[in-house]
Amino acid sequence: MTDPEVIVVGAGVAGLSCATELALVGRKVQVWTDALPEHTTSRAAAAFWYPYRVDPVDRVIPWSQVSYERFGALAADAVLSRASGVIMREAWELFPEPVPAPPWSRFVDLFRELWPEELPEGYGHGVVFEAPVIEMPRYLPWMVAELGRMSVELVRRRLDSLDEALAAAPVVVNTTGLGARELVGDARLFGVRGQVLRRARGELDRVYIDEHGPHGITYIVPRSEDVILGGVADDDVEHTRVDEGQSEAILDRCARIEPTLRETQALGVNVGVRPCRDAVRLDQEEIGEGEQARLVVHDYGHGGAGVTLSWGCAAEVRDRVEAWLEAR
């Protein structure tokens, strides 16, 4: 490849989405990354579309909407859906007592309140909507293959400073997740450990989410061949060892909602650490002037919603990069 115009640092869902958006508008892009996509936090994600544990709301909701539409388009095309592992599922979000409709209810499909007689035992309120489910073990390799078709290279390289990338391209996009804590010294980032179970899907085809109940965060996410059960949100815990006690507790909580889960075969456990921050960092820094001018766009700190925000943030990154390169 000739010299890149943009280097994206990081190959999780944020980096691959930014690289895609920039390649689609014709930019020469390289992705530099320490870990390959299959070894990132993104690979461990459940992953369903839901703006969980992430701020600020006024930016998160429009970003989520862009992603919702993009995932919806992938799911609507049978060939693309099979290749990318993105499907739409009916999702039930359950609450102990009535709450106002969330701000995203205005743009998701088929949003309505559940009837009292539909609610599982122990719940006082619920809503139903269509949610994209993104099967990460399929989705990430599909994204890498699509990038390859657009001649975007993935380069294995751990950076100690963004200057290494700035020496090779005028624009650098920083999508290093929790790695940004060291790379750019961002002390506002902190890890929140998650653990999910993988079991045989059986006949299950509905997503369940209980984020507010007294028993702790609970979700059931049926993918094409298996079902993901969660979850765990341990603030400031960053090890990735499996906790057997937590696995039992997750199964207990999920089986309260869907008792047939107890009979399904256990297939594995995934652990990952969410890159949390008081607010997502999506901003830019301009360095130097004239011929030597450089741009860094930061896109990290997506907490428990990195997949949900991926396309919305990538679109903003693309617009910022395009505006800067065109004004140059």
Ligand X SMILES: Cc1cc2nc3c(=O)[nH]c(=O)nc-3n(C[C@H](O)[C@H](O)[C@H](O)COP(=O)(O)OP(=O)(O)OC[C@H]3O[C@@H](n4cnc5c(N)ncnc54)[C@H](O)[C@@H]3O)c2cc1C
Q: Which residues make up the interface to ligand X (CB under 6 A)? A: 9-15, 33-35, 40-42, 44-48, 50, 158-159, 175-177, 179, 183, 194, 196, 272, 274-275, 300, 302-308
Residue closer to ligand X, measured from CB, 60 or 261: 60
Residue closer to ligand X, measured from CB, 118 or 285: 285
Q: What share of the chain is helix, strand, coil (3-state, %, to 5)?
A: 40, 30, 35
- Strand partners of residue 227: 199, 222
Binding residues for FAD: 41-42, 176, 303-308
| Minimum gap (Å) between residue 29 Cβ and ligand X | 15
Binding residues: 41-42, 176, 219, 274, 303-308
- Strand partners of residue 171: 6, 295
Residue closer to ligand X, measured from CB, 241 or 326: 241
CA-derived radius of gyration, the chain: 20
| Minimum gap (Å) between residue 231 Cβ and ligand X | 6
| Minimum gap (Å) between residue 176 Cβ and ligand X | 4
| Minimum gap (Å) between residue 123 Cβ and ligand X | 21
CA 93 to mean position of chain CA atoms: 19
Binding residues for D-dopa: 219, 274, 304
| Cα torsion angle, 11, 16, 22, 23, sign | positive
H or E segment to which residue 294 belongs:
strand 294-300
Residue 143 neighbours by CB under 8 Å, 6+ apart = 13, 16, 17, 20, 37, 84
| Cα torsion angle, 307, 46, 206, 203, sign | positive
| Minimum gap (Å) between residue 254 Cβ and ligand X | 14
Residue closer to ligand X, measured from CB, 180 or 295: 180
Q: Is 13 helix (H, G, I), strand (E, B) or coil?
A: helix
Residue closer to ligand X, measured from CB, 127 or 282: 282
Residue closer to ligand X, measured from CB, 126 or 275: 275
Closest CA to 247 of 297, 194, 186, 302: 194
CA 52, CA 90: separation in Å to the nearest integer? Answer: 18
| Minimum gap (Å) between residue 110 Cβ and ligand X | 20
The answer to whether 230 touches 46, Cβ cutoff 8 Å, is: yes
